[in-house]
Chains A and B, each alone.
Chain A
């Protein structure tokens, strides 16, 4: 990346420098040309004012010889007589003003001035003029060329030092263990790039949390399955060792119950895992809250009637916009939890009410409750209250919590005024 950037910048700089040098060179040549021309014109106009035949003597005392840049002068008198500093160079007729002439000395530039039939032509060799102009131009351009080269070098160094942290970052990421989700160390990135690193590290952290959660869930799930599977194993041995048909029948029934328990646990695990990793969209519909809850009460009736637990439903809430599956996962699990953990003859009261423009469903019981300190932990998967004497999967409240999170509701556990546990779900706003 650094190399590409440097190459590109250098190319651009090089093109600009070349163009600039070219333009300056041409401009300098043109300027020099104009200066020389002005010099010729001035000389010719000055000489034409002097006395006849003096002009050649004035400019070049050594007639016949000419240095490279010396002015070549010819005077033509009114009667046609010719005087010249160089012999045989100028043609017979020279036009007035500027003219480029091919002569024995090569190309020359000439200016001819006329005054009262007397012509004075002043010339200069073009090759020598150009040579001088080039020299001037080059001496003016040298510093520019040097600056361009120094600029390129400086540019390279700056780009490299600015991008060094990026290169370091690149190396660091390249060296990483593919399974590693530890944050990337900031190698001193430029201010503009830090947000990218912060965002990337944030993503890594979330990923690592999710992965850790999955790992723990898997370990917990495997652990939780040990007990039901151990039971099935023992029950199976008992079936194999039954001494009578009656004994075998009883053992088989026990084994059936063991298998049902294990599959119920697997079922709950699946449900929880699906809730926690759900990507299917919610299917929100207008539901009649009271009839939904009544349906769930009916579902729990066999269990509650077997334990002589009464379930009362009160409330005023009308319809609610919710996903029916999530609603029954939350309310059903809270209800099931209350029925399971309450001793026979207990009371469960469900209330659906509108509070502060949102619908709140509260499940109260007068069972043993949960010690205040244990309450927050109860929402985690596989956590059972140490005070609980009733075996459970430890997933009911976790499923309710996961469903709440999915739906954007809030689940709260507290002490119930009835003496047991109060679980309240805030369903968000609804149409009361």
Chain B
């Protein structure tokens, strides 16, 4: 998934970016409100982790701007402002969730997964096809009952497809989920990861729709 982290603290920003990337997300990091707004206007993100106390433009302003533009990207506010009033105004401004610093990374990560599932119109994180079972929440893949190891990148390809079984995502859209800014994207990166997934789980999981992109079949 492609995420935007808006955080003015360089230590938190870099650590968060690294951790989310390890979870297979493509992460962009904006250090102030102005560049966050620019990033949100020029890219499509699956989710935004937004700090409120930002230099130049406050996070709440960024959030209100987004919602005013009709941008419904899920936003998790992650801030040190813990007053009830601050939480209320954060949620009222259009935040989908609110975590208070210092937070546990695993909790943030779980909240991100929950928001991503909800945004993709599916409360479930389970997928089953033939003898294949995928558990997005725990990132466990099974084939014929045996656990199959998938890399973070392979999960990053699978996740958006599995969240909307049957719908087609283009190669560019999938590339977006894989890489943040400044990454040199090899032209065949998506094909390489799809190949890896098919080798581990079987040909039928990720289907290639020629000229359009990829999809996973709907269950049942």
Contacts and interface: CB of A to CB of B under 8 A. Distances in A.
Contact of A229 (B15, B16, B56, B102): B102
B161 to A, nearest CB: 25
19 contacts: A226-B80, A229-B102, A231-B12, A231-B15, A232-B102, A233-B104, A233-B105, A234-B12, A234-B19, A235-B11, A241-B19, A243-B22, A254-B14, A257-B11, A387-B55, A389-B32, A389-B56, A391-B8, A391-B9
Contact of B15 (A235, A387, A389, A391): A235
Nearest to A237: B105
Contacts of A316: none
A233 B15 CA distance: 9
Contact of A227 (B32, B56, B80): B80
B10 A234 contact: no
Interface string B72-111: 0000000010100000000000000000111111100000
Nearest to B106: A237
A123 interface: no
Interface in B115-171: none
Q: Chain A interface mostly helix, strand, loop or mixed?
A: helix
B18 interface: yes
A241 B22 contact: yes
B56 A386 contact: yes
Contacts of A233: 102-105
Contacts of A254: 11, 14-15
Interface of B: 8-12, 14-16, 18-19, 22, 32, 55-56, 80, 82, 100-106
A230 B102 contact: yes
B149 to A, nearest CB: 13
Nearest to B16: A234
Nearest to A261: B11
A386 B32 CA distance: 11
Contacts of A251: 18
A141 interface: no
A140 to B, nearest CB: 84
A231 B55 CA distance: 18
B32 A234 contact: no
A314 interface: no
Contact of A258 (B11, B16, B19, B82): B11
Nearest to B15: A234
Contact of B12 (A227, A241, A257): A227
A193 to B, nearest CB: 43
- Which of A231, A232, A241, A389 has the largest count of B CB atoms less than 10 A from its CB? A231
Interface in A236-291: 237-238, 241, 243, 251, 254, 257-258, 261
Nearest to A385: B55
Nearest to A257: B11
Interface string A384-408: 0011110100000000000000000
A380 B53 CA distance: 17
Contacts of A227: 9, 12, 80, 101
A223 interface: yes
Interface string A196-240: 000000000000000000000000000100111111111101100
Contacts of B82: 223, 226
A223 B101 CA distance: 9
Nearest to B99: A230
B80 A223 contact: yes
Interface in A92-146: none
Given A241-B19, A254-B15, A391 B102 contact: no
Contacts of A241: 19, 22
